[in-house]
Structure 1
Amino acid sequence: MTPDVAVNIWREAMWLIVLLVAVIVMPSLLIGLVISTFQAATQINEQTLSFLPRLLTTLIVIIITGPWLLRRIMEFTEQLVLSIPMLVG
Structure 2
Amino acid sequence: MEDITDLLSLADRMLWTTALVAAPILLASLAVGLAVGVIQAATSVNEQTLTFVPKLAVTALVLVLFGSSMMALVGDFTQQIFAQIAVISK
TM-score w.r.t. the length of structure 1 is 0.91
What SS does the corresponding residue of 2:45 show, helix, strand or coil?
Answer: coil
**4+ residue segments displaced more than 4 Å:** none
Partner of 1:68: 69
| Aligned CA-pair RMSD | 1.2
Amino acid at match of 2:48: Q
What runs of 5+ residues in structure 1 fail to find an aligned partner?
Answer: none
Q: Offset of 1:47 from its aligned partner? A: 2.3
Partner of 1:87: 88
Q: Does 1:25 align with 2:26?
A: yes
- In the alignment, the residues of structure 2 paired with residue 19 and residue 85 of structure 1 have an alpha-carbon distance, to the nearest angstrom, of 25
- In the alignment, the residues of structure 2 paired with residue 67 and residue 47 of structure 1 have an alpha-carbon distance, to the nearest angstrom, of 32
Q: Offset of 1:49 from its aligned partner? A: 1.9
Amino acid at match of 1:54: K
- In the alignment, the residues of structure 1 paired with residue 51 and residue 87 of structure 2 have an alpha-carbon distance, to the nearest angstrom, of 50
When the two structures are aligned, how many residues end up with a matched partner? 89
- In the alignment, the residues of structure 2 paired with residue 84 and residue 36 of structure 1 have an alpha-carbon distance, to the nearest angstrom, of 46
Q: Percent identity?
A: 30
- In the alignment, the residues of structure 1 paired with residue 11 and residue 79 of structure 2 have an alpha-carbon distance, to the nearest angstrom, of 15
Q: Offset of 1:21 from its aligned partner? A: 1.1
- In the alignment, the residues of structure 2 paired with residue 36 and residue 83 of structure 1 have an alpha-carbon distance, to the nearest angstrom, of 45
Amino acid at match of 2:35: V
